[in-house]
Structures are given as C-alpha cells and as structure tokens.
A and B are shown apart, each in its own frame.
Chain A
C-alpha cells in the first residue's frame, strides 16, 4: 500500500533537483542524458504502478509508449494536426491499447500474464515494423515539439527541453501518487495482496485491473510523446520488447512498489551506462552485477533497501510506514 512518506518526498526533491542542476550546468550531452533519464523514469513509474502495486508485471510497456509516440506523430506529421491535440490523441491511443491488454489479460496472472503482454507488445511492434505508410523499420521523422513560445521559451533549446522533461516527470509522479492514494489505488493494492478476498467483498477485480492498466498506459503514453519530441523521429525500435525489459530492470533496480525507486533506478542505470561506456563496451555486465546484487539483497532494490533499513531501525517488527507520517502532496 502506497504512502507518500517524508523520505520519499525528500528523495523525489533530491532526484528532480539533481536532474535540473545537472541539465542547467552541464553540457549539451548532459542535457541529452537528463531527457533520456526522464523518459525512462516516467515509463518506470508507469510500470511500477501496475507491477509494483497491482501485481501486473507487463512486458508491453515499451509498446504502449511506442503506440502513443506513433499515434502522436501520425496526427501531427501525416494529418497535419497541431501538436497539442495530436498529443491528446496519442495518449488516448495508449490508454485504449493498454486498457484492452488489461481487459484481455486480467483473468490471467504470473507467467501467463507476462507472456500475454509480451505477445500484445510484439503484435504492435510487428504492425509498425511492417507498415509502409509509417516508414516500416526506417521509422518516420518531421515531428515538432510543443510550441511554448507564448511562455517566452524555445523548446528546441536542449536545456529548455530537458527542464520540460523534468517537469513532466514530476507531473507523472504526482498523478501516480494521487491515484495510488485514492480509493482506486487502495483497492488495487488489495487486489495485489489477495484478489480472491477482494472479490468476496464485492470488487470486480478483472475490471479494476483493466482500469489500472489503462491508467498505467496514460503514463507510458506521456513517456511516448516525450520520446517522439526528443528525437523528432520515431521508429519501431521504441516498441521492441527489450525496451520493456529494460524498464522492468529499472523498476527492480530502484525498488519495485515504492514509486520513487524507479526514478532512482532510471538515474542510476542511465548514468552508469554513460559513465561505464567510456571505459568498456561490456558495461551491461556491470549493470547486470549491480542488478544481481540488488535482487540478492532482498529484492527491495536500491531505494527500497535504504527505506527498509531506515524503517526497521525504528520498529523492527513492522516493516511498514505508518500513515501518521504521511505528508499531503498538496
């Protein structure tokens, strides 16, 4: 069950602050890293929402992101719609797709759920890969960023766009946190804990899980729009299942079921990747070892493990954050 504890709020402020400072005072390359981190972190929050709190370990979140990116690009490039309505349609496409995946797969669980989502993701990937109208495996370009000149800022500036990404990451975190603290989110955690009992007290758990997948799809969709506007070009590579796998890795690395953990995980993975690739082509091995260590250390992930230490230091019998400590998001 989710609580926006003080520790999580502090970690969120530190993480976002770090990204903003790193982008502001870093090189062009640093700004690219920041935007890469924000996209990955948003997608990881989206996955943690359904996997960490609803028990739905999806392997199609890359595809959901890609569908949003494609729908957005089709609307703006092929049909010439302005970027904001195009983005809305992109998000709707992501919500519909993930809601459909959720609806179909809600009665399965565990390995069957994972395989079913993988199948959906691969179907979407194949569709875009084969589509000549959308450029097939060459992808499509000609995408524009949001026009924020009325605010006096130029989105084509790397710093502005990086800070925009950080702001969107904050927005997605707040959306996820509010949903998880609501009656809807509480019941979702209840389903994760004991689906059978949740039905016995009158919850249609299949519908509820489908709605949770749709909500998760909205967040993944936001990552997709950001990804399309970042590179101004999209290709079916966004939808490959390894993208979903990498997001799952980020969630586990940071701490599944903590919401802020995935943000920490995204920062760590991207930074590690860029730092290590200066020294070796085998940076994946180092990341792999970090992941194995994180899993062996209790599976709580990096943030999750630190949080666990801090809590159990005070009350060893109840590894749980009491609601009294909760600070309202507002």
Chain B
C-alpha cells in the first residue's frame, strides 16, 4: 500500500529525516512514535507532498508518487488531519464537510448546480458526521463548538474525502480523557479499507489500536514491530524514559 524507501530530508544543514524506509500494508493501523523533534510531522509533510524529499522514494498503491505535488497526492487518495486545527473557520460544520467532500468528488467544476442539498453529498456529509460523532453539531459554526469537537472535525475533513490512506497527526492533542475515548471508538470503527498512519502520544490509545508501531528518533527509524515487541524493546524504553547507562548517548551524535 505505502512503501517508503531511503527517504531523507534536510533543511539547510540539518537532517530531519535520515534514510527512512518502511512499508505499510493495506488496511493496517500503523502508529508512529517518537519524542518531540523526531521528524514525525515532517514525515507527514513528505508523504502528503507539502515538502519535497531531499532523496528517496514514496510509492502508494503500486505507483511512485515522489514527483507528485500535494494536490495530486490528495487526489490519489491520501488525506491528512493536522496536529493544529486547520479548519474552514467562519463556516458551519456541515459546510466544512461539504467542502472536503465536494473537493474529493470533482464538484469544484459544477458551475450551475448546488452541492449542499444534492443527495449523494448529503449522505456523505451525514455519514462522515456520524463517524466523527458530530451529527448534533452539523449546523453550528466552527467557532461555536468546543475544542474537542473541532478536533473531531479535523479528522472528519480528512474522512469526508473517502481516502485510501489516512494520515492522522496527533488527533487527541490537547483533549481530555473522555474525548480520547471518543477517538478510540472512532479509530476502532473505521472500516479496514482505510489504511491509517497515526502519530499519537497517548500510549494506551497507541498500543491498543496499532497493528504495528514504527519508532523514530532524530529522523531515523530505531525500531519497528508489534505493540508487544515495542513495549518490551530496551531502545524504545530508553528514548521515552531516558537511559542512565550511556548506550543511548552513543547514538545521540546525530543531533
């Protein structure tokens, strides 16, 4: 489904992603772990084409997409939700979802017909709203709903495009425990025809939904495996808990 080979990215002299390779299978839930500055969000920028990789290649559904720009990649079915809310402000939640759905279905070239009340769109908007638990808030302005609802809409905008690959950048960032449960449920009920890459800091959530976990540190893949293996891995423990034995410091010179 998604194949990343020898991907690197430098900004000036600083290498943010270094020779990164991994493969994600169709339908998989892959969690990306790593401390702040590990290059997780940059990886998403590279996958969505917002940033161009310095070297390496990205294949999606058997096609090399390395040369495609962000718009083309969105059109082949890669959608993303953002760590910081990136919504259509001053519009309602229904209008937000409508915009994403209309964009994904080529309705930006409808010059005469409205799309808000069109039957297919209506179903799609309502389906997506149900997925992200926003059915009751559909006709409220984005500015009138809670921060948690906005986080749900953030994912909803990506889902409304019916993506094949969904990249979620910390969907639970800044929300409370009750809302984390909502996201947990959402992730478990999403159909398996969507492949998901998710950056998540809530460990319970991450370990319970992941099929596999990839751990990044200083732009490099330091570990990849099942949640159980990850939990038991000494390198991962060290990165997250800090090791006093100096073994980790030996690899720290990348910084």
Contacts and interface: CB of A to CB of B under 8 A. Distances in A.
Interface stretch (B86-94, B224-232, B238-246): B86-94
A186 interface: yes
Given A1-B91, A184-B108, A318-B144, A190 B103 contact: yes
B110 A182 contact: yes
Nearest to B110: A183
B115 interface: yes
Interface residues of B, number: 42
Contact of B71 (A190, A194, A203): A203
Contacts of B91: 1, 189-190, 193, 320
A202 B114 contact: no
A176 to B, nearest CB: 12
Interface string A311-327: 00000011110110000
Interface string B75-118: 10001100000111111101100111011100111111111110
| Chain A interface extent, by class | 20 to 34
A201 B99 contact: yes
A182 B114 contact: yes
Interface string B38-52: 000000000010100
Contacts of B89: 193-194
Contacts of B50: 200
Nearest to A324: B139
B149 to A, nearest CB: 14
Interface in B208-249: none
A201 B81 CA distance: 10
A181 B70 CA distance: 27
Nearest to A215: B111
Contacts of B108: 183-184, 187, 203, 208
A318 B92 CA distance: 9
Contacts of A318: 92, 139-141, 144
A217 B111 CA distance: 16
A183 B71 contact: no
Contacts of B66: none
Nearest to B141: A318
A200 to B, nearest CB: 6
Nearest to A205: B71
Contacts of B7: none
B115 A202 contact: no
B132 interface: no
Interface string A172-199: 0000001101111011011001101111
Given A183-B110, A190-B88, A203 B115 contact: no
A199 B115 contact: no
A187 to B, nearest CB: 4
12 contacts: A182-B111, A182-B112, A184-B111, A186-B99, A193-B91, A200-B48, A200-B79, A201-B161, A203-B71, A203-B108, A318-B92, A323-B94
Given A197-B157, A203-B108, 17 more contacts: A182-B114, A183-B111, A183-B113, A184-B108, A184-B109, A186-B102, A187-B102, A187-B107, A190-B88, A198-B99, A200-B79, A200-B86, A201-B104, A202-B103, A203-B71, A204-B71, A208-B108
Closest 5 CB pairs of A and B: A183-B110, A202-B74, A183-B107, A190-B99, A187-B108
Interface of A: 1, 178-179, 181-184, 186-187, 189-190, 193-194, 196-204, 208, 317-320, 322-323
